[in-house]
Copies of this chain bind each other. A is one copy, B any other.
Amino acid sequence: MRTAFTDLVGTTQPLVGFSRSPGVVAEVSRAGGLGVLAATAYRPDELDAQLTWIEQRTGGAPYGVDLLVPAGTSDAATDQRRRIPQQHWDFVAELLARHDLDPARLRAAPGADSTAHAIAPGGVDELLDVTFAHPVALVANALGPPPPSMVERAHAVGVVVAALVGRREHAERQLAAGVDVLVAQGTEAGGHTGSIATMVLTPEIVALADDVPVLAAGGIASGEQLAAALALGAAGAWCGSVWLATREDITPDPVKRKLLAAGSHGTVRSRTRTGKPARQLRSAWHDAWEAPGAPEPLAMPLQVLLAKDAWAVIDGAAAAGHAGAQELESFFVGQVVGGLAELRPTADVVAGMLADCATRLRALAGLVDVPTG
């Protein structure tokens, strides 16, 4: 299926596979879509190795990289971590203890370092250096408008810049910043997301974007949902959650089991994992932060560091079968989680979505050609 987006990035299909798993990224690109690596948790040398691995797998098919470049972060990582109030450390320590996890391991946890590096300004520049040294087709900035340097560097080497938007005003700022693709992300999406649903947001962003292609994100994990995105005027779909149910995804098994068992009502849009509203699987973690007396979540990046340290404890124990850790376990996922029931090869997911989309679009064409009396 050829659209303004496929023409721009050089793919054969209007489907983006956004994932932190390099294997998913490679398989989506091999199958005709555009794999986009969520690269916020990598050090520069790790990112370089992952991009090299992806290129070896895809044999020249286009792929992309998503970075997190927040505005206004100026502290070094170690300073940021010291700014977390004692009340918040105590709250999380008590929460872990209530679930029979050792709170003493919290401050000793190694989870925060690479993230703190990536979201510090110096770290981002290094990640951009690595990114632009590779033949990427697209770079995206996960939160807010990309800095001018990112847009200039991308355009200088012919790389398409994409940006996620949750409402009209975001899109206006992104267009002013010079982005080439807008991703209209509905509230049903996993991760950082706004309050407006994909069904409403997509045509609104399409209407103001003129000739800038718009992808729909949020609520898209099947061919029928891809067809709906195209019906809304999108030039393709940006999918994230659906890949969590693939064999190539690196999410730990205890999380995957919870994802496959969850219903579509099992998510919550919460500030408790990053400091900004992000949709994730609801667990005992979220119940605790909503209980009377719980502190307000901190701003980004402090809440990221606090939650990362907690998750270093939770993930390790959950992997060993610890019941309390499994109650707390969670991950970023959209409302499509209710439709994820088994692990499949990424290539099969892509092929199935494209085939089902084509079948549905042909059936709908028959609907308008039939006389209706």
Contacts and interface: CB of A to CB of B under 8 A. Distances in A.
Interface of A: 1-3, 6, 12-13, 167-168, 186-188, 194-201, 203-204, 218-220, 222, 224-225, 227-233, 263-265, 334-336, 338-339, 357-358, 360-362, 364-365, 367-368, 370, 372-373
Contacts of A195: 265
A167 B361 contact: no
Given A195-B265, A225-B231, 16 more contacts: A12-B372, A13-B372, A167-B265, A168-B264, A168-B338, A187-B188, A188-B197, A188-B200, A194-B265, A196-B338, A197-B218, A199-B199, A200-B264, A201-B264, A224-B233, A364-B364
Contact of A199 (B1, B168, B218, B365): B218
A10 B158 CA distance: 56
B200 A230 contact: no
Contact of A204 (B232, B338, B358, B362): B338
Q: How many copies of the chain does the oligomer comprise? A: 2
Contacts of A335: 196-197, 200
Contact of A224 (B201, B222, B232, B263): B232
Contacts of A233: 224
Task: Give the residue among A12, A365, A372 with the most B Cβ atoms within 10 A.
Answer: A372
A203 B186 contact: no
A373 B7 CA distance: 11
Nearest to A362: B368
A194 B338 CA distance: 15
Contact of A368 (B229, B339, B361, B370): B361
A369 to B, nearest CB: 8
Given A1-B372, A264-B167, A188 B194 contact: no
A299 to B, nearest CB: 20
Nearest to A233: B224
Contacts of A6: 372
